[in-house]
Each structure stands twice: as structure tokens, then as C-alpha cells.
Amino acid sequence: MKNVDQHEAARLAEPLQAICRERDVAFIVNDSVALARRLKADGVHLGQQDGDVREAREILGREAQIGVTCHASRHLAMEAGDAGADYVAFGSFFPSSTKASEHRPEPDLLTWWHELMEIPCVAIGGITPQNCRPLVEAGADFLAVSQAVWGGDEAEAVRAFAALLA
């Protein structure tokens, strides 16, 4: 919901947050520490321009899950980890209609991170059931998907991911 104001985003988030709570799944707000605080979300995902991990931790508390987009940069990922991020995200691995990105990391970045670091890594960007397997095999702990699920039959997309990742 990148193009809506915080009040509308909060209104739209309520039913999704309730679904997450019922299923004991973390509800993470994208890009906005203020909205995460307002919603008492489980955490926030920060892009490089969305704030500092240490400040987000101070605002949201020790229990909040805080992740950081690191594009294709080992350096940014190590800085995020040192600052206290709970996970780092690399991408966009594939072209994405959700968000434009000039960064195209190779899957070996996931392998490098997975072998050296304890903090989980997330692969993001244009991920579909058809192209996700190499990212998982390379070491992605999680996949961030948007258009692949919300751009069509949501239930079928989730089943396709589940079948591939089982």
C-alpha cells in the first residue's frame, strides 16, 4: 500500500493484522516505523531511506522484528546486522511490477550470507513459484512475495509456493 496515506493504510491493515494474529503469524509493516507503532505491529521492514534500525528499535521496543533491505550489498547487510536488524533482505532478484529496482543480486549472495551469518536473509523481488527454487537452494531463509500472490488467484498461488517449498 505504497500510495495511500497512513490513516487509510491503518484502516486497510486492521483485517490483515487480525488474520495474522489468529494464525500466530507476525504482522510486519513495510517502510513506516510510525505506522508500525500506531498499529502495534510485530515489526517493521525498512528500506534504505526509511529510517535507522537503532531508532526503530528505540521506538518499537526490543521485541519488535526489524528487517532491512540491503539490495545487493554485503556491506549494507553487515551494517544492518551490526545495528541490530533481525533479518536482512536482498533483491530485487527478478524484475518486479511491485517496485522498480536497479539492483539484481545473484543467488550466490544468499549463499555467502547463509554460510557466514546467523541473522536470517530474505530474498525479494519478482519471486514466483516458477523462479523461487534457486533462491531457496542458495540459502534464502524467507521469500518476500507480493504480486505473485496478490496479482491473481491468491489461494492457488499460496498452494503453488507451498508445494514447491515442502
What confidence tier does 112 reach under pLDDT thresholds 50, 70, 90?
very high
Residue 82 and residue 68 in contact, taking contact as beta carbons nearer than 8 Å:
no
pTM for the model: 0.91
For residue 93, give the nearest of 67, 130, 118 by alpha carbon: 130
Query: Does residue 106 share a domain with residue 158?
Result: yes
Query: Does residue 87 share a domain with residue 144?
Result: yes
pLDDT reported for residue 165: 85
Which of the 8 DSSP states describes residue 128? -
Mean pLDDT to the nearest integer, 47-66: 97
Instruction: Count Cβ atoms within 10 A of the Cβ of residue 126 and give its class: 0-12 exposed, 13-18 middle, 19 or more buried.
Output: buried
Number of domains composing the chain:
2
Residue 159's domain comprises: 70-166
What rounded mean pLDDT belongs to the chain? Answer: 94
What confidence tier does 24 reach under pLDDT thresholds 50, 70, 90?
very high
Instruction: Tell me the residue length of the chain.
Output: 166
Residue 53 and residue 86 in contact, taking contact as beta carbons nearer than 8 Å:
no
Chain mean position to CA 96:
14
What confidence tier does 103 reach under pLDDT thresholds 50, 70, 90?
confident
Query: Does residue 143 share a domain with residue 160?
Result: yes
Residue 37 and residue 8 in contact, taking contact as beta carbons nearer than 8 Å:
no
